[in-house]
């Protein structure tokens, strides 16, 4: 976990304690030394099937590291209770029971109760048995044949059945059928909230931002800048759709643009409507800000399934809910209070126009082309994987730096760990605002990233056609170091190059293509 910046938090001072004595003399002790709060950041892959970023505001590296352990331990503990992916979890063992009341942990009972509540609130749009429909479409993708009307009807009929009976007095759950069940939708947000609460029990932790796969809780004495990914963008470093300033709230985003099934050349969302058996495709993204993390996660998913009118009605019945819904035709539907949360987006660098005839140079890079740089970070077979520092940039054939595409790192003091990139950029480096901010987006697979170069240099000018060198540098503090180089001709002819992996990057590719 790395320290990224410091702020003055408060000053201890004693104004004077009157100590009366026989002589009437009083004494006043000296003020205590000012204490400074630091914010530490760490990033992981393969946490609940996606990526994780943790920011902890506290007094020392030791306190931050201990807080990080508390968070990771709580995520692990709750996952072993509610996960259906873990065959040894409490929920998986409960699924093997049938027809008899089983005493379950308070956490599992609470999650199952929440599913009953949200099933009613959303008129069936959220349902643990939506997994029945999900599996049907997954099988259809394997066969490259969409499900028949009868298959869809049969799946919906099973969804509508009761799957468990809960006894609140005894906290028992009776499994009444054998339908496949999955505790998704809002459970990630539930785990985030409980993990943050566990960490904040430490008196020396003043603020936490925990972001897992784009869903986050911001708690304590911090106002966090949150960027909302554009659902129509296909790279991590593209301009965000919106920016928010959030304090002591939860944020969740759900959408169909990261995961789904391709059948017969048509993309089908991984989000399904369990009431119809069909993938939800009218909404491409829904972001919700709420006082409660579970509400944020549940609503973000439900808004992808429900008609917009029903979503608005549901949100209006719950206090403190703000939302932004994006329809497949690009319409923005925002709550009345959304604008109060918004912050200005960082201004784009203006392109500098030059007279090519006066300069007698080649025509610039065709704006009909772009370069996509794909990379996948190696992760452990089991457990959480800490993400290394990564720099991706472009040089010309003289090795002059042209454009920094993206940089991921911890504290500014550790930037020199990326020694090759830092050598080129140390004189004019400033932390990217996107690095400082938290990013909310639809959940994606862990460790896989796509970055885009639009053919412009660091000043915003299009470069001329020709050969360029793509560099991917990866470093771990006091650990491994890797530098990948690949020359590529950018001359309006599409091409794709696959790069050999290494100990940190399992695979990488460069795709110079038409937009």
Per-residue pLDDT of 203-213, as tens digits, reads 999 999 999 99
Among 202, 311, 327, 302, residue whose Cα is nearest residue 252: 302
Residues with Cβ within 8 Å of 344's Cβ and at least 6 positions away in sequence, in order, are: 243
The CA-CA-CA angle for residues 266, 270, 271, to 5°, reads: 120
Give the per-residue pLDDT at 111: 98
Give the per-residue pLDDT at 17: 31
Region 340-353: mean pLDDT is: 65
List pLDDT tens digits, range 413-424.
678 889 999 998
Say whether pLDDT at 353 is over 60.
Answer: no
Does residue 121 lie in a domain region?
Answer: no
Contact by Cβ (8 Å): 250, 191: no
Say whether pLDDT at 154 is over 70.
Answer: yes
Number of Cβ within 10 Å of residue 124's Cβ equals 20
319/431: higher pLDDT = 319
Does residue 56 lie in a domain region?
Answer: no
The pLDDT-based confidence of 354 (bands split at 50, 70, 90) is: very low
Contact by Cβ (8 Å): 274, 304: no
What whole-number distance in Å separates Cα of residue 462 and Cα of residue 449? 24
Which tokens go with 216?
């986050």
Does residue 222 lie in a domain region?
Answer: no
What's the order of all strands across the beta sheet hosting 224-228? 242-246, 224-228, 438-440
Lowest mean pLDDT among 275-289, 344-358, 389-403, 416-430: 344-358
Which range marks the domain in which residue 390 is found? 356-514
As a dihedral over the C-alpha atoms of residue 224, residue 42, residue 445, residue 87, rounded to 10 degrees, the angle is -110
Which tokens go with 351?
């392109």
pTM: 0.87
Number of Cβ within 10 Å of residue 127's Cβ equals 25
Does residue 413 lie in a domain region?
Answer: yes
Residue 345: exposure state from Cβ atoms within 10 A (0-12, 13-18, ≥19): middle
What is the residue-averaged pLDDT of the chain? 88
Region 375-400: mean pLDDT is: 89
Residues with Cβ within 8 Å of 358's Cβ and at least 6 positions away in sequence, in order, are: none
How many domains in the chain? 1
Contact by Cβ (8 Å): 374, 471: no
What whole-number distance in Å separates Cα of residue 227 and Cα of residue 421? 26
CA 62, distance to chain mean position in Å, is 26
Q: Distance from first CA to last CA of the chain, Å, rounded?
A: 38
What value does the CA radius of gyration of the chain take, rounded to a whole number of Å?
Answer: 26
The CA-CA-CA angle for residues 60, 61, 66, to 5°, reads: 100
Say whether pLDDT at 201 is over 70.
Answer: yes
Give the per-residue pLDDT at 267: 87
Give the per-residue pLDDT at 357: 42
What whole-number distance in Å separates Cα of residue 336 and Cα of residue 119? 26
Does residue 464 lie in a domain region?
Answer: yes
The pLDDT-based confidence of 319 (bands split at 50, 70, 90) is: very high
Give the per-residue pLDDT at 19: 32
The pLDDT-based confidence of 34 (bands split at 50, 70, 90) is: low
Lowest mean pLDDT among 31-40, 49-58, 436-445: 31-40
Question: Which CATH number fits the domain that encloses residue 502?
Answer: 2.60.40
Residues with Cβ within 8 Å of 204's Cβ and at least 6 positions away in sequence, in order, are: 58, 59, 60, 63
The pLDDT-based confidence of 427 (bands split at 50, 70, 90) is: confident
List pLDDT tens digits, range 256-290.
888 888 899 888 999 999 999 999 999 999 999 99
Give the per-residue pLDDT at 52: 94
Say whether pLDDT at 7 is over 70.
Answer: no
460/288: higher pLDDT = 288
Among 128, 183, 129, 181, residue whose Cα is nearest residue 158: 129
Does residue 293 lie in a domain region?
Answer: no
Among 41, 74, 73, residue whose Cα is nearest residue 209: 41
Give the per-residue pLDDT at 168: 97
Among 156, 170, 202, 159, residue whose Cα is nearest residue 63: 202
Does residue 468 lie in a domain region?
Answer: yes
Say whether pLDDT at 361 is over 60.
Answer: no
Does residue 457 lie in a domain region?
Answer: yes
As a dihedral over the C-alpha atoms of residue 299, residue 300, residue 306, residue 307, rounded to 10 degrees, the angle is 110
Contact by Cβ (8 Å): 286, 326: yes
Contact by Cβ (8 Å): 40, 64: yes
The pLDDT-based confidence of 21 (bands split at 50, 70, 90) is: very low
Contact by Cβ (8 Å): 258, 442: yes
Lowest mean pLDDT among 12-16, 288-292, 464-468: 12-16
């Amino acid at each position: 976990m790395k320290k990224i910046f410091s702020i003055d938090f408060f000053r201890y001072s004693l104004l004077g304690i009157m100590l009366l004595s026989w002589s009437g003399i009083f004494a006043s002790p000296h003020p205590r030394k000012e204490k400074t709060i630091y914010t530490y950041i760490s990033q992981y892959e393969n946490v609940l099937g996606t990526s994780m970023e943790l920011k902890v505001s506290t007094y020392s590296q030791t306190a931050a590291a201990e807080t990080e352990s508390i968070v990771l331990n709580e995520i692990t503990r709750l996952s072993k209770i509610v996960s259906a992916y873990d065959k040894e979890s409490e929920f998986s063992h409960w699924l093997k029971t049938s027809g008899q009341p089983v005493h379950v942990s308070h956490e599992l009972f609470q999650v199952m109760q929440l599913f009953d509540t949200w099933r009613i609130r959303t008129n069936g749009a959220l349902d643990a048995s939506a997994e029945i429909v999900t599996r049907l479409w997954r099988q259809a993708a394997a066969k490259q044949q969409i499900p028949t009307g009868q298959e869809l009807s049969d799946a919906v009929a099973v969804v509508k059945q009761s799957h468990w009976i809960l006894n609140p007095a005894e906290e028992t759950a009776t499994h009444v059928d054998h339908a496949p069940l999955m505790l998704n939708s809002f459970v990630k947000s539930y785990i985030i909230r409980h993990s943050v609460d566990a960490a904040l029990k430490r008196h020396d932790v003043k603020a936490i931002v925990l972001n897992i796969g784009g869903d986050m809780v911001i708690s304590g004495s911090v106002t966090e800048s949150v960027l909302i990914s554009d659902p129509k963008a296909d790279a991590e470093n593209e301009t965000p759709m919106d920016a928010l300033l959030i304090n002591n709230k939860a944020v969740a985003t759900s959408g169909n643009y990261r995961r789904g099934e391709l059948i017969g050349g048509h993309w089908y969302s991984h989000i399904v409507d369990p009431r119809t058996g069909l993938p939800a495709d009218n909404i491409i993204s829904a972001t919700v800000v709420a006082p409660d993390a579970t509400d944020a996660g549940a609503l973000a998913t439900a808004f992808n399934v429900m008609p917009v009118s029903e979503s608005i009605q549901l949100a209006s019945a719950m206090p403190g809910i703000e939302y932004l819904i994006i329809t497949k035709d690009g319409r923005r539907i925002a709550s009345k209070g959304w604008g109060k949360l918004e912050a200005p987006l960082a201004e784009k660098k203006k392109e500098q126009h030059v007279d090519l005839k006066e300069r007698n140079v080649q025509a610039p890079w065709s704006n009909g082309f772009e370069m996509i740089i794909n990379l996948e970070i190696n992760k452990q077979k089991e457990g959480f994987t800490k993400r290394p520092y990564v720099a991706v940039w472009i040089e010309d054939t003289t090795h002059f730096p042209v454009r920094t595409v993206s940089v991921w790192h911890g504290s500014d003091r550790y930037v020199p760990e990326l020694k090759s990139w830092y050598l080129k950029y140390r004189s004019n480096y400033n932390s990217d605002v996107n690095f400082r901010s938290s990013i909310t987006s639809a959940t994606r697979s862990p460790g896989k990233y796509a970055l885009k170069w639009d053919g412009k240099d660091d000043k915003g000018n299009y470069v001329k056609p020709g050969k360029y060198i793509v560099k991917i540098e990866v470093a771990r503090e006091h650990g491994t170091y890797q530098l990948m180089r690949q020359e590529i001709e950018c001359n309006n002819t599409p091409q794709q190059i696959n790069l050999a992996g290494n100990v940190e990057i399992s695979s990488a590719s460069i795709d110079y293509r038409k937009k």
